[in-house]
Amino acid sequence: MTSAQSPILSAHGVFKSWKSPAGAIPVLAGISLSIGAGESVAITGCSGSGKSTLLHLLAGLTQPDAGRIDFEGRPIDDANGIKSLRRASAFVFQDAKLIPGLTIYANTCVPLEHRGVATAVQRRVVGALLERVGLGDRRLHYPRQLSGGELMRAAIARALISAPRIVFADEPTGSLDDTTAQYIIELLLEFCGRGASLLVVTHNRELASRLQRRHHLTGGRLEA
C-alpha cells in the first residue's frame, strides 16, 4: 500500500491452524497485511501454503485463532463488523459456486435481491453486465450448461453486479485455458481500475505481475 492510499482492509498478527488427529497444523504464523482503497494485490505460493485460508480470513468467511482483521479501521470480530465487510465486498470462488437450480441471469440477480433492488433495475443492470462479460446469449441457461470459462465469467458477473468496494478472488484462472484466462484477467483489472480494491490468490504469473503489489506466502508468512 502506498502512502497516498488509505487502508480499506488490514490484518494484524493473524495466526491460523487446522485441527487434525495428530494435533494442530499451523497454517498462518502472524500475518500482517494492509490493502489500500483501489489497490490490487496478488498472493502467490505453492499448493497447501495457506493462500486460500488467508483469503477466507480476510473476507470474514472464517475466524483467526489470534490476531485482528480490520475493515475501514474497525475490527470484524463481531456481527456488525462482519456484516459491514460482506455488504461492501464480493468473493469469486475457484469453482464458481453458482446455484445449480437458477439460470445465469437469476444467479447474477441474487446479490441485488438481498439488497432489495427493484426488479426493473435488476433487469437493466444484470442484462448489461452479462452482455459485457459475453454471456448475453447464455442468460437463461443453467450452470450445468456452461463451460468452465463461462462459469467463471458468470461468477465474476455475480460478484461485480453490486459494485463492491473490494473483491476477493480465489484462483480465478486456475482451471482455464490461456485465452479464457486472459479474458478473466482483463475483466478483473477493468473493474479494479474503476476504484475497487482487488485481492487475488493465484498461480498465474501473468495475473500476479499485472497487479500493483505481490506477496508470496511460504512457511506461514508473507514475503514481499
**Structural domains in the chain?**
39-61+86-223 (3.40.50.300)
Q: Give 143's DSSP letter.
A: G
Per-residue pLDDT of 32-84, as tens digits, reads 999 999 999 999 999 889 999 999 999 999 999 999 999 998 999 888 888 89
Report which of residues 167 and 94 the model is more confident about: 167
Quote the pLDDT of residue 2.
Answer: 47
pLDDT value, residue 33: 96
What value does the mean pLDDT take over residues 117-124? Answer: 94
Average pLDDT over residues 194-200: 92
- Measured CA to CA, the distance from residue 167 to residue 58 in angstroms comes to 11
Question: What pLDDT is stored for residue 79 in this prediction?
Answer: 82
Band of the pLDDT at 1, cuts 50, 70, 90?
low
Tell me the percentage of the chain whose pLDDT exceeds 90: 69
What's this model's pTM, rounded to 2 decimal places?
0.91
Backbone angles phi, psi at 158, to 5 degrees: -60, -40
**Dist. CA 183–CA 173, nearest whole Å:** 9
pLDDT over 70, % of the chain: 98
> What would the grid cell of residue 99 be?
446455484
Taking each helix axis from N to C end, the angle separating 119-132 and 148-160, rounded to the nearest 10 degrees, works out to 140
